Chain A
Amino acid sequence: MSFSWGEALRVALVGFSGVFVILTILWLSLKITAAVVRRLPQKPPVEKKRSA
């Protein structure tokens, strides 16, 4: 089975760095979501009606 080491290196470099790129974008998106959620007006806690 023939393959070129150059091709293997390309696959590994693109694959491994690609994993980090996508996970970093996910990280940033989580940070942005958290920041946006924190700025949203918070609903006041609903008071439970006490039964008589």
Chain B
Amino acid sequence: MFGMEFGFQFLYWGHIVMIVLGILFIYLGAAKDYEPLLLVPIGLGMMLVNLPLGGLMDYQLEYRAPVEGIVRQVAAPGTVVGEGGLLFTIERTGTAGPETVEIRVDVTGLEGAKVSALRTVGTRSIQSGDVVLAGDRIATIRTTRPPPLAEEMVPVGLISRFFSYGLVWEIIPSLIFLGLGALTDFGPVIANPKSLLLGGAAQFGVFFAFFAALGLGALWPDIFHFGLREAASIGIIGGADGPTTIYLTQALAPWLLGTNAVAAYSYMAMVPLIQPPIIRLMCSKKEIATYMKPQLREVSKLEKIVFPVAGSIIIILFVPQVAPLIGMFMFGNLLREVGGTQRLARTAQESFIDIVTLILGITVGAFMSAESFLRPEALAVFFLGLIAFATATVGGVLMGKLMAKFSKEPFNPIIGAAGVSAVPMSARVVQRMGQKANPRSFLLMHAMGPNVAGVIGTAIAAGFFLGMLR
């Protein structure tokens, strides 16, 4: 039309569904205040990537002439090609007589890519009869959906570059952990180290969802293509930790990255809706109202400096696969606790983590193209993510009940629910529920221990998955 292509010519119902979903995310963040720092960039990214021809998530690959000769056949721009699709043929002229060489798409699993550009000869595109030299670029193919392991495809869209160099290179999740470390106060964990066990128990949800995903994959293998690697990346959603979910999924099942990340962040925003009914179901009113001494012991500066150093040594010696996450987390925390690095800590806590979150949010949203999201697996991931969050809460509260049984002092079992990291959301839920049941109760500091322990526990669980499945 008018000698050019317009986006609306290529719009189909799938794009419209995803654009509406993106706008819904922006609405939830802007009007309902559900994790606006994440939902707004994710929603916008989702909207942008589903506007056809925008090219924000495009990848391309160039094909060059392998030999000198005469071009005999060439696919026109706009031709849809998949794995094995013919791009051009060259008639090689030599002493042994003419020989035709076919150049086909050699990317395994590629579907629906388009020939986007051809070599220009003077003012026109290359055509049959033109002579080319070995190494001349003849055709370029472009797609928004490269297969997960197509490393030869080069990102050319703005967000595909963020994705490749930020997420595939594992930079963004680690940098977010640096900021998180700078924001985290390990004081409650150091004052009450028992809370580490609550963070560990909440990882029950990760492993429960791991089996649930495998069960779905075994029951309906034609619909849900879930093997051990996919199940692990879905299970880790139960850790309620976005960067760890992204880090593990990128390594084990990159085709689930968009859905897993959005499921993790959406459920983190919904922790105040998911956890209270489960806690009420598991604990009596008397248990919820249990009063705990509001003050934890004072933690010295030396202890706060020793913990990130010793913690990173211990964890990385056991699970070196998560060295980038744990290393950055503890580094950020060290900046916070060492007096002379306050300037760096402030930057890590504020502008630095904000910048990285911006890029992460829009990139995760851009992974939600209609083609990759509107599939049965995506619905299954959302269902399994909910199961993961719910069973993680169950695991934490059960451990809380066990610890309450053996504790000499009054112990409120609901602080176990904060082991589902979702920092600081689940700790706030515990605080609100405890105070509602007993206005004298102040559980926030007690809940922050398991909350932080949950972050560490999820990273460790991810390390074990990586160690055994990568």
Considering only residues 13-44 of chain A, those with a C-beta below 8 Å from chain B are: 14-16, 18-27, 29-31, 33-34, 37, 40
CB nearest neighbor in A for B199: A23
Which among B11-19, B90-98, B310-318 touches the partner chain?
A: B310-318
The residues of A that contact B302 with a CB separation of less than 8 Å are 37, 40
B331 within 8 A of A: no
The 7 closest A-B pairs by CB, nearest first: A15-B464, A1-B227, A30-B193, A27-B193, A23-B196, A23-B200, A12-B207
Contact-residue size bin, chain B (C-beta under 8 Å from the other chain): 35 or more
On whether A22 and B460 interact (CB within 8 A), knowing A8-B231, A15-B465, A16-B207, the answer reads yes
A-facing mask of B195-214, CB < 8 A → 1, else 0? 01101100110110011001
Other-chain residue from A11, A21, A31, A40 in contact with B465 (beta carbon distance below 8 A): A11
Q: Is the CB of A22 within 8 A of B318?
A: yes
B193 close to A19 (CB less than 8 A): no
The residue of chain A having its C-beta at the shortest distance from the C-beta of B201 within the complex is A20
A20 cross-chain contacts in B, Cβ below 8 A:
197, 200
* Nearest CB of chain A from residue B292's CB, rounded to whole Å: 19
CB distance from B383 to the nearest CB of A (A): 18
A19 and B460 contact, CB distance less than 8 A:
yes
Is A2 located at the chain interface by the 8 A CB criterion? yes
**Closest Cβ–Cβ distance, residue A47 to chain B (whole Å):** 20
| B379 contacts the other chain (CB 8 A) | no
Complexed CA–CA distance, A41 and B456 (Å):
32
Q: Interface readout for B452-470 with A: 1 if CB under 8 Å, 0 if not?
A: 0100110011001100110
Residue pairs across A and B with Cβ atoms less than 8 A apart, 14 shown, are: A1-B217, A3-B228, A11-B469, A12-B210, A14-B464, A15-B461, A19-B200, A19-B464, A23-B196, A23-B460, A24-B197, A27-B197, A31-B193, A37-B300
Q: How far is the CB of A37 from chain B (nearest CB, A)?
A: 5
Contact assessment for B228 and A11 in the assembled complex, using a CB-CB cutoff below 8 Å = yes
B130 sits at the interface (CB 8 A): no
> A10 — nearest CB in chain B belongs to which residue?
B468
In Å, the complex CA distance between A37 and B315 comes to: 22
User: Which residues in A have their C-beta under 8 angstroms from that of B293?
Assistant: none
Chain A residues with Cβ below 8 Å from B465 are 11, 15
Residues in A with CB closer than 8 Å to B227 are 1-3
Residue of B nearest to A12 (CB): B207
Main secondary structure on chain A at its contact with chain B?
Answer: helix
Task: Enumerate chain B residues within 8 angstroms of A5, measured Cβ to Cβ.
Answer: 214
In the complex, which residues of chain B have a beta carbon less than 8 angstroms from the beta carbon of A18?
Answer: 318-319, 460-461, 464
Nearest-neighbour CB distance to chain A for B455, whole angstroms, equals: 12
The reply to whether A1 and B315 form a contact with Cβ atoms under 8 Å apart is no
Q: How many A-B pairs with Cβ below 8 Å? A: 104
The residue that B214 contacts in the complex, of A8, A22, A37, A40, with Cβ under 8 A, is A8
Using a CB–CB cutoff of 8 Å, the interface residues on chain A facing chain B are: 1-3, 5, 7-8, 10-12, 14-16, 18-27, 29-31, 33-34, 37, 40
Q: Is B232 an interface residue (CB 8 A)?
A: yes
| Shortest beta-carbon distance from A44 to chain B in Å | 15
Residue of A3, A11, A12, A25 touching B314 (CB-CB under 8 A): A25
Q: Name the CB-closest residue of A to B192.
A: A30
B468 touches A14 (CB 8 A): yes
A22 to B456, CA, bound (A): 10
B204: A residues at CB distance < 8 A: 16
Docked pose: A8 CA to B337 CA in angstroms:
40
Q: Known interface pairs A8-B231, A22-B319, A29-B310. Does A16 touch B203 (Cβ–Cβ under 8 Å)?
A: yes
**Chain B 431-470: CB-based contact to A (< 8 A → 1; otherwise 0):** 0000000000000000000000100110011001100110
Q: Report A-chain residues with C-beta under 8 Å of the C-beta of B203.
A: 16, 19
* Most-contacted residue by chain B among A2, A21, A27 (CB, 10 A): A27
Residue of B nearest to A32 (CB): B310
Residue ID in chain B nearest A15 by CB atoms: B464
Name B465's closest neighbour in chain A (CB-CB): A15
B190 within 8 A of A: yes
CB distance from B205 to the nearest CB of A (A): 11
